[in-house]
């Protein structure tokens, strides 16, 4: 378990959630797993922090939820992106690209 | 579209909070289970899997709390929760709740009641169209700040002023209505054609009279809605019907809308039942010296009040230039305009503001008291608050909780206060005399509700701020260390409470001083001798219709015949008649020329207010004769003209001579005009008890027609001196008049005691209300200082025990506590005197015959407050001596 777990930057979690939901409708645990898998286990978020973020995105109208079902037939809340969430994803992703490119430039230059 | 999802989510989470909580919990539980299953699949034992899942998740409760805080309704939720908590606290402490709410209800209720009167009378626009454009045209003379306008002056204003879109003059009058139904005597108005348009009013049916009808004195009349509904049973075909007024047939051409009143009646109450032409024509241009009209104008668009005033001033100065005889320079004739609203509200403005200020002080005292209670309460709750702080409540959170508690208290108190205000207004309107009936017109409208609400919230924040700030500023850990038991409460808290008490006592003293001064003023006022008999005199108004009493002889004969008949009523001591009833009316004046005395160049011909009396008047009402003789029935049309003058007239005109037998000519009128002074009487405060003495003269009714240019006076006030009450006299007086003329109506039956009561109604109201407010403040302040000393005694029982165990005498202990209270009282009273000095000068406009710094009154109220404060300290201080040292040390 001595894996390095970088702290997620403020706002990064939002971006990850939006990106994950852009592809499909998912429940909370599914989102956490998808992020973990896609980041090859580097980004194992403090999983609980997902839920306040989901709550806020929902109250801001960028995602919406409905009661869905798991494969095992269990009722669970599933989230999907709204069109304003899609717009926000574009903005946040672009921001991230700019920021990470800038940070990389700095790391290489010095 | 997305905003809909957004608000749906917010609303859902707010409204179905329980469901949102549950869903959030289930969601996290599901997450943990999935994580666990995953871990079990990869070979971990169930318990290890559960633990791992929880660690990775990072604290279920913590995130549930975060979810909660991220909810949009979270703040509101907190407030509601605090409010619920506050209600529970109140319910657990009913004595505290009752005392606090009652104090607040009294403070807010009183303030709201007075504010609603202020709102109705001072803040609501006058009930006319565009009232801001209406101005009063006001004339003045040396010593007479507001004088009426004469017909000739009216015509000058109509002709020469171009600042008004409409201008008119009017005078109040009465008429006997006969014809259909009972004879009835009603009040009404004679107005020039411009008056009603100036007020921007439209008849509800028919039309107003025209300029031509006005000048030709056409027999047309516009009647009031009340008269139409009452006397004419709301006849749909009212227009064109005739009504007989004073025996002359008038055609009804219009009906006024309901509720219309001329400005003088807005506060005074009563209404005008008819509006008929004033009938001033160019022929009357000579009548310059007879002043009886009131002028109003509506400003042309774009014309300011100042511009209108300067225009009016110019016309007035032209009059003085053109008619130097009529406007002697020394009389300083002038004219100007004032906004109508200012004129209407002028007389009540100062008293109302005094009342509002007084009740505001009561509210401040109430606030201080409640703040004190809350501070004591907060001390008791220190443990609780410290605990909550230790458990993670932020300081801001605790402060906001305290504020929510106090605002909630204030809102509850305000709601109670609003109910109290409604009751007070209702009670007030039923208790005040008719002349103050406008108080009853005050209503609770949106603005008053807003005021009550704002007052409550401001009050709540005001008194809640102190305890909240203390929590905010004080290290809470200190509170925990101290526990609940410190020595005499915390030093800061105690100082704050003492400061509040000092303020409270100071405010109470200011109020008491005001009440004391107003009481003295009122007592001085009612003790003023009006100069006429008030006790055991009743009066009624009567007017002879010109149609049936066409000649002077018929008129004078009627009164000559009536007087002995009235006197013959059993129980009647004397009876007479007078043209204007003292204390209830104003008098007109006439100038005169003393025989053998030339008016020096630029000099002024003397003037005097005049009364027309029958022989019985002096015997009935006075004024007391000082020298010479009074008017008798021998002073009739065939004998030499006589006049009785008052002391002031003598002092002004014959300071060193005996006036008896002197002769003067009245006015510039036709007729013999020469009267001989036959007697001197006391001055009469005719126009009000606080008015300065003016020269007055009394003329015989039988002779008056010789010098008034018109005819014998037809409208007179019967006065009857009798030990019988008014109720037993009205019947016999009516019968007696009916015996002479069955069609003649009598009106305005009243006793002179009531007339005087009306004259002192406003000073009495001020005295009673400010008195009540100051008593309330006194009680609150006494309770406040009692509370502080009692609390200090309670907190220091332990210390007293030690002191007494170490040898202190009970007397020393109680003296110490008493000393503390007395020091507070002394500071409060000293501060109060400073406040009194600053505030009571504002009272000077409503005080009569007493200085705002009257030493007797101020010493008196200072002593009263000191006595009450010391008693309130002594009661709890005495308790300090009853401490049993052994017992008090065991406590805690």
> For residue B26, which residues of chain A lie inside 8 Å, CB to CB?
76-77
Question: For residue B26, is pLDDT > 80?
Answer: yes
Distance to chain A for B351, nearest Cα, Å = 56
The CA distance from B576 to B564, in Å, is: 9
DSSP strand E in B389-546: where? 537-543
Q: Which residues of A touch B44 (CB under 8 A)?
A: none
The residue behind tokens 């060193």 is: B656
pLDDT digits (tens, 9 = 90+) for B322-360: 888 778 777 788 888 999 988 888 888 888 888 888 888
CA closest to B23 among chain A residues: A77
Dihedral sign for Cα B625, B628, B633, B639, please.
Answer: negative
Please name the member of A29, A49, A59 whose beta carbon is closest to the beta carbon of B34: A29
In chain A, residues with a C-beta closer than 8 Å to the C-beta of B63 are 48-49, 51-52
* Chain B interface includes A19 (CB < 8 A): no
Query: A55: which chain B residues are within 8 Å (Cβ-Cβ)?
Result: 24, 67, 70-71
Look at A51 and B34 and tell me if their CB atoms are within 8 Å: no
Average pLDDT (B288-298) is: 83
Buried b (16+ CB within 10 A) or exposed e, B201-223: bebebbebbeeebbbeebebbbb
| pLDDT tier at A3, thresholds 50, 70, 90 | very low
Contact B9 A62 (CB under 8 A): no
Residue A9: pLDDT over 70: no
Evaluate if residue B850 carries a pLDDT over 70.
yes
Q: Residue B60 pLDDT more than 90?
A: no
Q: What pLDDT was estimated at residue B392?
A: 65
Domain positions in chain B are 2-72, 143-331, 347-527+761-890, 549-742
For residue A32, is it within any domain? yes
Asked if A44's CB is within 8 angstroms of B28's CB, the reply is: no
Q: What does the alpha-carbon distance between residue B106 and residue B416 come to, in Å, rounded to a whole number?
A: 8
Please give the mean pLDDT across all residues of chain B: 82
Instruction: Say yes or no: A61 contacts chain B, CB-CB below 8 A.
Output: yes
Contact B2 A84 (CB under 8 A): yes
CATH number, domain at A76?
Answer: 1.10.10.10
Least confident of B149-153, B280-284, B447-451: B280-284
CB under 8 A, 24+ apart: contacts of A66-72: A68/A25, A68/A27, A70/A27
B445-458 average pLDDT score: 85
| B222-277 pLDDT per residue, tens | 999 988 888 888 888 889 888 888 778 889 999 999 888 898 888 777 788 899 99
H-run or E-run covering B572: strand B572-578
Overall average pLDDT of the B74-87 stretch: 77
Residue B817's pLDDT is 79
Using CB atoms, pick whichever of A59, A64, A74 lies closest to residue B13.
Answer: A59
Of residues B282 and B232, more confidently modeled: B232
Tell me what the mean pLDDT of segment B677-699 comes to: 86
Please give the tally of structural domains in chain A.
Answer: 1
On whether residue A2 sits in a domain, the answer given is: no
Q: Is the pLDDT of residue B483 over 50?
A: no
Angle ∠(B651,B657,B659) on CA atoms, nearest 5? 75
Among B541, B497, B521, smallest CA distance to B720 is for: B541
Whole-structure pTM value: 0.71
Closest Cα to residue B851, out of B838, B840, B839? Answer: B840
Position with higher pLDDT, B226 vs B287: B226
Inter-chain residue contact A61 with B63, CB threshold 8 Å: no
- Other residues' Cβ atoms within 10 Å of the Cβ of residue A59: 23
- Measure the CA–CA gap between B20 and B30, rounded to whole angstroms: 15
Question: How confident is the model over A58-64, as a mean pLDDT?
Answer: 85
Does a structural domain hold residue A76?
A: yes
CB distance from A58 to chain B under 8 Å? yes
Name the pLDDT band for B485 (thresholds 50, 70, 90).
very low
**Alpha carbon distance B508, B503 (integer Å):** 9
Q: Which residue of B has its CA nearest to A28?
A: B31
- Give the pairing type, strands B184-191 and B242-245: unpaired
Q: Give the residue numbers spanning the domain of A37.
A: 12-109
Q: Which residue in the set A47, A51, A76 is minimally distant from B67, CB to CB?
A: A51
Q: Which of B10, B19, B27, B68 to probe by mutation at the A interface, max A CB count within 10 Å?
A: B27
Quote the CA–CA distance of B649 and B797 in Å, as a whole number. Answer: 76
Q: Is the Cβ of A77 closer than 8 Å to some Cβ of chain B?
A: yes
Residue B296's pLDDT is 92
Q: Give me the pLDDT at residue B484, please.
A: 44
Contact A47 B72 (CB under 8 A): no
- Give the count of beta carbons closer than 10 Å to the beta carbon of residue B270: 13
Task: State the smallest CA–CA distance between residue B801 and chain A in angstroms.
Answer: 57
Assess: ipTM above 0.90. no
pLDDT for B222 equals 93
Q: Residue A4: pLDDT band by 50, 70, 90 thresholds?
A: very low
Which whole number is the average pLDDT over B851-872?
86
pLDDT for the residue B488: 41
Determine the pLDDT at residue B220. 92
pLDDT tens-place string over residues B596-613 = 777 665 556 777 888 889
State residue B94's pLDDT score: 81
CB < 8 Å to A51, chain B: 24, 27-28, 63-64, 66-67
pLDDT band at A1 (very low <50, low <70, confident <90, very high): very low
Mean pLDDT lowest for which of B669-673, B702-706, B780-784, B803-807?
A: B669-673
pLDDT band at B290; cut points 50, 70, 90: confident
From B3-7, B407-411, B726-730, the region with the lowest mean pLDDT: B3-7
- What chain B residue is nearest to A85 in terms of C-alpha separation? B2
**B444 has pLDDT over 50:** yes
> Which of B26, B30, B58 faces A49 most closely, judged by CB atoms?
B58
Per-residue pLDDT reduced to its tens digit, B176-211: 787 766 777 788 898 998 899 999 899 999 899 888
Residue A4 falls inside a structural domain:
no
pLDDT at B224: 92
Q: How far apart are CA B95 and CA B223, in angstroms?
A: 60
Q: Minimal CA–CA distance to B152: which of B282, B276, B277?
A: B282
**Contact state of B58 with A47 under an 8 Å Cβ cutoff:** yes
Cβ of A74 within 8 Å of Cβ of B30? The answer is yes
Rounded Cα distance between B847 and B832, Å, is: 20
Residue of chain B nearest A51, judged by CA positions: B67
Using a CB-CB cut-off of 8 Å, the residues of chain B touching A84 are 2
Q: What is the mean pLDDT of residues B430-441?
A: 74
Through-space distance between the first and last CA atoms of chain A, rounded to whole angstroms? 33
Q: Which residue has the higher pLDDT, B848 or B314?
A: B314
CA–CA distance, B880 with B817 (Å, rounded to integer) = 8
The tens digit of pLDDT for each residue in B546-580 reads: 778 878 888 888 888 888 888 888 888 888 999 88
A9-32: b or e for each residue (b if 16 or more CB lie within 10 Å)? eeebbbbbbbbbbeeeebbbbbbb
Q: Determine which of B208-217, B453-462, B589-598, B628-637 has the lowest per-residue pLDDT on average.
A: B589-598
Give the span between the Cα atoms of A108 and B867, in whole angstroms.
Answer: 87
């Amino acid at each position: 378990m001595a894996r390095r777990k970088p702290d997620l930057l403020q706002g990064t979690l939002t971006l990850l959630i939006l990106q994950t939901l852009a592809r499909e409708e998912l429940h909370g645990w599914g989102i956490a797993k998808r992020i973990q898998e896609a980041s090859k286990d580097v980004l194992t978020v403090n999983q609980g922090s997902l839920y306040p973020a989901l709550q806020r995105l929902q109250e801001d109208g960028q995602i919406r939820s409905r009661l869905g079902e798991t494969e095992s037939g269990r009722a669970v809340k599933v989230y999907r992106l709204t069109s304003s969430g899609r717009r926000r994803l574009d903005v946040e992703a672009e921001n991230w690209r700019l920021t990470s490119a800038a940070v990389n430039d700095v790391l290489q230059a010095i | 579209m997305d905003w809909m999802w957004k608000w749906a989510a917010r609303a859902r989470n707010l409204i179905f909070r329980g469901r949102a909580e549950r869903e959030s919990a289930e969601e996290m539980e599901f997450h943990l289970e999935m994580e666990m299953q995953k871990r079990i699949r990869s070979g971990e034992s169930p318990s290890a899997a559960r633990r791992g899942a929880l660690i990775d998740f990072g604290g279920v409760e913590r995130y549930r709390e975060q979810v909660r805080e991220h909810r949009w309704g979270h703040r509101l939720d907190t407030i509601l929760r605090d409010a619920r908590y506050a209600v529970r606290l109140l319910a657990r402490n009913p004595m505290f709740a009752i005392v606090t709410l009652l104090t607040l209800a009294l403070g807010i209720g009183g303030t709201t009641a007075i504010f609603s009167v202020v709102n109705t009378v001072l803040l609501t626009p006058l009930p006319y169209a565009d009232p801001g454009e209406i101005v009063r045209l006001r004339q003045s003379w040396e010593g007479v700040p507001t004088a009426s306008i004469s017909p000739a002056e009216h015509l000058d204003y109509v002709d020469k002023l171009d600042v008004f879109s409409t201008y008119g003059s009017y005078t109040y009058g009465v008429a006997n209505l006969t014809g259909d139904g009972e004879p009835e005597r009603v009040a009404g108005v004679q107005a020039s054609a411009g008056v009603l348009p100036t007020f921007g009013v439209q008849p509800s049916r028919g039309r107003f009279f025209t300029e031509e009808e006005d000048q030709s004195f056409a027999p047309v009349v516009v009647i009031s809605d009340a008269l139409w509904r009452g006397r004419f049973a709301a006849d749909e075909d009212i227009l064109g019907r005739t009504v007989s007024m004073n025996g002359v047939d008038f055609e009804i051409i219009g009906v006024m809308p309901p509720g219309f009143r001329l400005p003088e009646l807005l506060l005074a109450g009563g209404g005008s039942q008819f509006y008929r032409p004033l009938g001033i024509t160019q022929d009357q241009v000579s009548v310059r010296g007879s002043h009886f009209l009131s002028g109003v104008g509506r400003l042309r668009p774009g014309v300011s009040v100042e511009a209108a005033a300067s225009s009016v001033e110019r016309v007035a100065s032209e009059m003085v230039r053109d008619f130097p005889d009529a406007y002697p320079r020394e009389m300083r004739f002038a004219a100007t305009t004032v906004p109508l609203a200012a004129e209407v509200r002028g007389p009540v403005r100062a008293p109302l503001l005094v009342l509002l200020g007084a009740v505001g002080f009561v509210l401040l005292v109430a606030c201080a008291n409640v703040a004190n209670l809350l501070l004591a309460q907060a001390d008791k709750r220190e443990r609780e608050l410290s605990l909550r702080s230790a458990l993670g409540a932020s300081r801001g959170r605790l402060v906001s909780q305290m504020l929510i508690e106090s605002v909630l208290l204030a809102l509850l108190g305000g709601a109670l206060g609003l109910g109290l205000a409604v009751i007070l207004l209702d009670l007030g309107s039923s208790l005040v005399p008719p002349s103050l009936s406008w108080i009853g017109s005050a209503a609770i409208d949106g603005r008053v509700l807003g005021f009550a609400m704002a007052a409550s919230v401001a009050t709540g924040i005001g008194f809640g701020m102190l305890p909240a700030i203390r929590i905010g500023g004080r290290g809470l850990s200190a509170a925990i260390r101290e526990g609940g038991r410190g020595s005499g409460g915390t030093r800061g808290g105690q100082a704050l409470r003492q400061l509040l008490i000092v303020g409270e006592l100071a405010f109470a003293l200011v109020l008491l001083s005001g009440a004391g001064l107003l009481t003295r003023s009122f007592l001085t006022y009612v003790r003023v001798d009006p100069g006429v008999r008030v006790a055991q005199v009743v009066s009624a108004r009567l007017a002879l219709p010109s149609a049936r009493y066409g000649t002077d002889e018929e008129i004078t004969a009627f009164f000559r015949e009536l007087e002995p008949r009235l006197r013959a009523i059993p129980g009647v001591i004397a009876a007479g008649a007078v043209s204007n009833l003292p204390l209830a009316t104003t008098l007109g004046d006439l100038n005169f020329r003393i025989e053998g005395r030339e008016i020096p160049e630029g000099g002024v011909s003397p003037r005097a207010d005049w009364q027309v009396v029958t022989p019985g008047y002096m015997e009935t009402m006075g004024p007391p004769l000082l020298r010479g003789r009074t008017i008798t029935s021998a002073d009739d049309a065939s004998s030499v003209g006589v006049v009785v003058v008052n002391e002031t007239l003598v002092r002004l005109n014959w300071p060193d001579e005996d006036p008896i037998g002197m002769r003067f000519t009245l006015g510039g009128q036709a007729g013999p005009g020469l009267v001989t002074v036959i007697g001197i009487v006391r001055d009469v405060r005719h126009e009000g008890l606080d008015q300065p003495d003016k020269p007055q003269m009394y003329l015989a009714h039988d002779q008056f027609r010789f010098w008034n240019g018109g005819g014998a006076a037809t409208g007179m006030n019967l006065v009857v001196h009798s030990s019988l009450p008014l109720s037993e006299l009205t019947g016999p007086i009516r019968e007696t008049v009916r015996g002479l003329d069955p069609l003649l109506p009598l009106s305005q039956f009243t006793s002179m005691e009531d007339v005087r009561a009306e004259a002192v109604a406003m000073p009495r109201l001020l005295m009673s209300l400010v008195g009540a407010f100051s008593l309330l403040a006194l009680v609150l302040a006494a309770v406040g200082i009692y509370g502080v000393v009692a609390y200090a005694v309670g907190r220091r029982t332990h210390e007293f025990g030690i002191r007494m165990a170490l040898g202190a005498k009970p007397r020393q202990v109680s003296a110490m506590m008493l000393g503390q209270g007395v020091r507070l009282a002394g500071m409060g009273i000293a501060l109060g005197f400073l406040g009194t000095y600053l505030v009571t000068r504002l009272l000077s406009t409503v005080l009569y015959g007493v200085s705002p710094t009257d030493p007797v009154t101020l010493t008196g109220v200072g002593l009263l407050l000191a006595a009450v404060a010391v008693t309130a300290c002594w009661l709890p201080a005495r308790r300090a001596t009853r401490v049993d040292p052994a017992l008090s040390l065991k406590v805690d």
